[in-house]
Structure 1
């Protein structure tokens, strides 16, 4: 079970002495791609992907054949055997014995075998085990230096290849984390104002391109762990019969008002038994070697039960806890309750273990129970916790950053299995809000302290303004031990002769972001804006029109440097379009923000029209996920029809 929950290893430097296998010679493919007679869809797709990228690197498409077309005569030339071929089996590779998502990469004479654990299903479905496809991406990553920067062809950096030789090797590659997941943001679109977002055709194309991009960055999972807020409908279903299962607040069980969110009386023995009973009803107690997951994730609300039994499970509040809780946060007035949840998850797991020793209870470290417990409790690997602080967006002070990393380490000391389940990437709207250094620091600290997986909410897709953030978000999940500076150098190298200028451009915005902590806090409080749901209420104040001029000058310099390199020039233009879009959004926000009682649709009509014209003209460049922009703007601006002023809950 521990293997499934995160014992995978990243690819190592598996080079052995010898001549190796020549894939490209003299700038042309020197290899034939070979697939089985009846390949899995993901294996067939691996051949397509390898062929496409090799053609980009050389200008020539490599030959593709089924194994029956390979003869003893043709074996005199190099081949890449993909998937469960007879050749791979004869070479001793049993792909059926590999763990999900794993791939054996082995040189055999002048040939290369890439044979993985492959299951039926769409190659782009993260629940399809596509070991051979992942092995192909490992080959492109390691030996062709391909870099996937953003969705689409322009965002795919494939250096010119004159010679590619794969050294002799025999290695199994498995993604290090059992789950690598970034939520697609497919549902983040404005229902009342669809005109602000993509057209329907462009939206479909964008999501398809994004799905391809995510798979190229090897997003996926070895096992399907189902979890999420577990008790949303429980009051309606069980409140009348079992009010004791629900929070006790001000002497009353259940929601404080009709339709309000509620937490559970997590100490209640009957509640714990019912959680396990429902897990059993869905087959969780079926014997097997795979873990089955008991969903005990609290609702999207602070833990606030005030009964004596719950309070008896609480540990002492950390002495520095209140120092780091924002004074106007929804948890500022709530008690510290991490230990009651930790102890309750443990009790639930002990019940489930009676029926299945491979049961794993899932909870979130969230709201007023995200800080590490203080009781010294040891939970063990049969409890899996999603680390999900409900605030503390970037940028942070040094003390805040250190404290956040300490909370992760504190949970790791319970010996539970941890996955990063943060909402950080919902922040920033489409502005050049750059926090790549602090994110990489926190991610790598977690990776070095027991992280087994990720589940990020969400991929909002502002590729042209937040590129370094997003590149590290994807790349670190495959190469968590690589220095962030080295990964960012990969990103900037795609801009060719403008690489140094583009680095300076994003360094400018990262300094602007990190220097604006107080401005962000004060502005969002003053305008009643949310850092994730109504960012556009404050966009003009955080990024006023005059803030764009220095950045525009830096990109002008980059454009000049890249002028002689067509691809690099187009990528710089991509950044320029993204900055232009952000500026148009800022200008519209200044006239339309619901944070200003003087705002009206008529007041901002000209600016809004200019923004919409830009979006129609450039929506297929993928500079931004226009649907996400529309989702934010629909609750931020005075718009025709129903303008909805929301007090945004936490982003769960």
Structure 2
């Protein structure tokens, strides 16, 4: 069945039989709400989410339905059945109740009953795991029914979560909920590793994120393929350099020193001891989380430095690979790219993994990063290898890989890999070309839509973006359309955006959209020649004229809605983002002159601006994420007179870590 596109209160129905359309009333003034009936084996998370569904049904109609955790006798005339259970077989006889795909969801209805279900996999004995983020409760391997409930809330009940918090929620109250029946809707998400899109708010993450609930309701957090976005051997030097020094990369001076530093030490990939210890690490991981299926084998960071020079490792490099500049202690050398080496290593581990765990469908994750960004000349990833492509074209069309001697762009490299990989994780770094990290309206909505659809068409099973900082008042429309497309890349992005603006802003929709569209247009023009601009270049984009025109658009938006209304509050939320942008740009200009010649008057003005920013963030929850925007924070370096002087931004070269 063709996937339905998101539309307000629309049901794109596929009839179970050739019958005229009928209707099912779930609740009305004259009819009490249909009960919610839970499957007996429902997981704790499914039970919690069923309570949430009842809450929203009550919020919409004023009548909260009862929840039953058993099949009543006699069967109710109308009901919403949560999860597959015996009674559904007879009540919905034309519905196939089997699931053929991971995370598959099913929403079906006839004139009397609704089924909300999905493929669930969970192990009560291992529903709590401990990882680097701490202890995570309620872990499942697949959350089909939960994601089906969120889909029902959005597509059938019209609930929206535009941004985190109460102000971002949109519920239209009405007396009656009526569905056009019969219909069936099935969907299974292609992108099964979705939690890394908003990584700071992924399941269990204790970092900068404040949107955990929002990410859950967007069906991002509860995914089914756990894949890391980083490197695989960060602790190996500390663990093994004394007992197994031979596993580390041979340096040109004959040592295995761990250059450039312990966290970024490279391995002698061709050494069978490395393979043995990696399999031991897999075993340790499975002890902690027996349902893990993807295991990281990606080389450490510091991509230009310290690679193994032994004859066996170098034999895995293809002589026709792109020449790249490699660094060792007090020594540089041009050598072919390590793409063939890294793929060969991953393939060897994948072979050993299958031998040790036959039939488990375990897979190896390998980064294409740094000197392995070029497409390999000869080596091809095995079917059980997932390539993690650090292709940094998110928001930065045309950006050249700074390690490439040919001037290849990240997009070109991605397209080359897409032709040869069985599966991929897209893992871009976002950078901050127009203030993405500083919370400015660094918007690339249309490009992001195109990129997400292209990535989905290229064997992509996962996306991990480093990093989305959760500044909802300045970057919110982009976040929202991202979340919707990651769940369903086939969805109509323009329909999503139109719904976002109309539902969130009512009669102010056109003015708010003009506001964001104009900022995006200016940003895209700026980044044609400034893909890696520094903070003190931002006034070239955020000119007085652009800020003045932006304010005029928001003034029109404010005038178009009733004072004090929900729409007015949301316009004020966006206004907080513009106020922050104006204050930050003022600080950038002031501090640009201050570092050339310190001035007490300038310093005092900046301090006052910072006080206003802090109040603005406190008064408008979720508008800006205050964590990374604190004065003195790394991303705000040089913007406070009591903080450190800004470092001079230099063009990065092959000696640098790729932190962009």
TM-score by length of 1: 0.79
Matched with 1:199 is: none
Secondary structure at 1:253's aligned position in 2?
Answer: coil
Matched with 2:107 is: 105
* Aligned pairs for 1:5-84 within 5 A: 15-16=14-15, 17=19, 18-25=21-28, 30-35=33-38, 40-58=43-61, 60-67=62-69, 70=72, 72=74, 75-76=76-77, 78-83=78-83
Q: 1:388 to 1:66 in 2, by over 3 A?
A: same
Secondary structure at 1:465's aligned position in 2?
Answer: helix
Matched with 2:565 is: 566
Q: 1:354 to 1:567 in 2, by over 3 A?
A: same
The C-alpha deviation readout for 1:129-186, integer Å capped at 9, x for no partner, is 4332211211122223333211012212334555531422345443332221136565
Residue 218 of structure 1 pairs with residue 219 of structure 2: yes
Q: 1:176 to 1:615 in 2, by over 3 A?
A: same
After the TM superposition, which of the residue ranges 21-30 and 137-146 deviates more from structure 2?
21-30
The C-alpha deviation readout for 1:496-527, integer Å capped at 9, x for no partner, is 22222222111111111111126635742xxx
Residue 506 of structure 1 pairs with residue 519 of structure 2: no
Residue 385 of structure 1 pairs with residue 393 of structure 2: no
> Are the equivalent residues in 2 in contact too, given 1:285–1:355 (CA < 8 A)?
no
> Are the equivalent residues in 1 in contact too, given 2:606–2:641 (CA < 8 A)?
no
After the TM superposition, which of the residue ranges 109-118 and 576-585 deviates more from structure 2?
109-118
Per-residue deviation, 1:539: 4.7
> Are the equivalent residues in 1 in contact too, given 2:396–2:531 (CA < 8 A)?
no
> Are the equivalent residues in 2 in contact too, given 1:105–1:173 (CA < 8 A)?
no
* Aligned pairs for 1:286-365 within 5 A: 292-302=293-303, 304=305, 305=307, 307=309, 308-315=311-318, 336-357=337-358, 358-365=361-368
Per-residue deviation, 1:542: 4.6
Give, in whole Å, the separation in 1 of the partners of 2:294 and 2:216. Answer: 25
* Aligned pairs for 1:234-273 within 5 A: 234-240=236-242, 242-251=244-253, 252-256=255-259, 261-273=264-276
Matched with 2:426 is: 420
Residue 152 of structure 1 pairs with residue 173 of structure 2: no
Give, in whole Å, the separation in 1 of the partners of 2:340 and 2:597. Answer: 48
Residue 445 of structure 1 pairs with residue 419 of structure 2: no
Secondary structure at 1:511's aligned position in 2?
Answer: helix
Per-residue deviation, 1:450: 0.8
Q: 1:229 to 1:433 in 2, by over 3 A?
A: same
Q: 1:633 to 1:362 in 2, by over 3 A?
A: closer
Per-residue deviation, 1:445: 0.7
Quick one: which of 361, 366, 376 aligns to 1:373? 376
Aligned residues between the structures: 603
Secondary structure at 2:66's aligned position in 1?
Answer: strand
Matched with 2:652 is: none
RMSD: 4.3
Residue 548 of structure 1 pairs with residue 547 of structure 2: yes
After the TM superposition, which of the residue ranges 380-389 and 602-611 deviates more from structure 2?
602-611
Matched with 1:467 is: 476
Matched with 1:629 is: 629
Q: 1:283 to 1:583 in 2, by over 3 A?
A: same
Runs of at least 5 residues in structure 1 that lack an aligned partner in the other structure: 1-7, 189-202, 323-330, 525-534
Matched with 1:650 is: 658
Matched with 2:588 is: 589
> Are the equivalent residues in 1 in contact too, given 2:368–2:387 (CA < 8 A)?
yes
TM-score by length of 2: 0.78
> Are the equivalent residues in 2 in contact too, given 1:476–1:482 (CA < 8 A)?
yes
Give, in whole Å, the separation in 2 of the partners of 1:540 and 1:415. Answer: 42
> Are the equivalent residues in 2 in contact too, given 1:32–1:63 (CA < 8 A)?
yes
Per-residue deviation, 1:586: 2.1
Secondary structure at 1:45's aligned position in 2?
Answer: helix
Q: 1:507 to 1:604 in 2, by over 3 A?
A: same
Per-residue deviation, 1:594: 11
Quick one: which of 270, 278, 285 aligns to 2:281? 278
> Are the equivalent residues in 1 in contact too, given 2:279–2:353 (CA < 8 A)?
yes
Q: 1:570 to 1:227 in 2, by over 3 A?
A: closer
> Are the equivalent residues in 1 in contact too, given 2:317–2:336 (CA < 8 A)?
no
Secondary structure at 1:482's aligned position in 2?
Answer: coil
Matched with 2:155 is: 142
Q: 1:419 to 1:14 in 2, by over 3 A?
A: farther
> Are the equivalent residues in 1 in contact too, given 2:477–2:500 (CA < 8 A)?
yes
Secondary structure at 1:415's aligned position in 2?
Answer: coil
* Aligned pairs for 1:166-245 within 5 A: 166-170=180-184, 172-182=186-196, 186=200, 210-219=211-220, 220-225=222-227, 228-240=230-242, 242-245=244-247
> Are the equivalent residues in 1 in contact too, given 2:437–2:635 (CA < 8 A)?
no
Give, in whole Å, the separation in 2 of the partners of 1:462 and 1:649. Answer: 26
Per-residue deviation, 1:246: 3.0
Give, in whole Å, the separation in 2 of the partners of 1:267 and 1:599. Answer: 56
* Aligned pairs for 1:469-488 within 5 A: 469-488=478-497
Give, in whole Å, the separation in 1 of the partners of 2:146 and 2:288. Answer: 33
> Are the equivalent residues in 1 in contact too, given 2:387–2:425 (CA < 8 A)?
yes
The C-alpha deviation readout for 1:340-367, integer Å capped at 9, x for no partner, is 2112211221222221233311111112
Quick one: which of 112, 121, 132 aligns to 2:145? 132
> Are the equivalent residues in 2 in contact too, given 1:10–1:173 (CA < 8 A)?
yes
Secondary structure at 2:424's aligned position in 1?
Answer: strand
Q: 1:71 to 1:564 in 2, by over 3 A?
A: farther
Give, in whole Å, the separation in 1 of the partners of 2:38 and 2:450. Answer: 41
